[in-house]
Structure 1
Amino acid sequence: ALPSTDPTGGLTANAISLGPRGNDTFDHAKSGDCLTWPDRTPAAAEIVDCVGEHRFEVAESVDMRTFPGSEYGPDAAPPSAARIQ
């Protein structure tokens, strides 16, 4: 089952975290890692065991700064929650 949240929006003890949490998670995720986060809060992403339910499995790390354009350029705003979903 997906991790449940407490009233403040944090993860409960039902979640099993195997690594960094939040935006730091995306910096450390590598091929084969599985990620999950509570609804509408991708900033709370965690690396989790792929045996359980998860929202995303990393195929490859891509440095998006190598792609030209305003969406991925070095001065681009972070992606919105809707864009990540």
Structure 2
Amino acid sequence: MPRAKDAFDELYPCEFYTPEELLDADQMYTIAEIGRLLQGLEPDAELDEGTEAVLVDWAVPWVMVNAGNLIIAEPPTDDDPGYYGLKT
């Protein structure tokens, strides 16, 4: 249900990192790792499944919006995730 803006104590700008600000140019990352980075966490931070699912939900659209600045690598095996990195 929508809520009035004045129902909140504070409102913040909706700003996201650019790929260049978020990713190391020499590294490739999984969607889950990108999700962690978007929240200011280390890529290998331990998270419970529910939290990781929420972060992945944030990361997927970020990757799609920034696809023009990213490259992708095939997963090492069929059971592994894909990897994304900066296009250089």
TM-score by length of 1: 0.25
The structure with higher relative contact order (CA 8 Å, sep 6+) is: 2
Higher Cα Rg, which structure: 2
TM-score by length of 2: 0.24
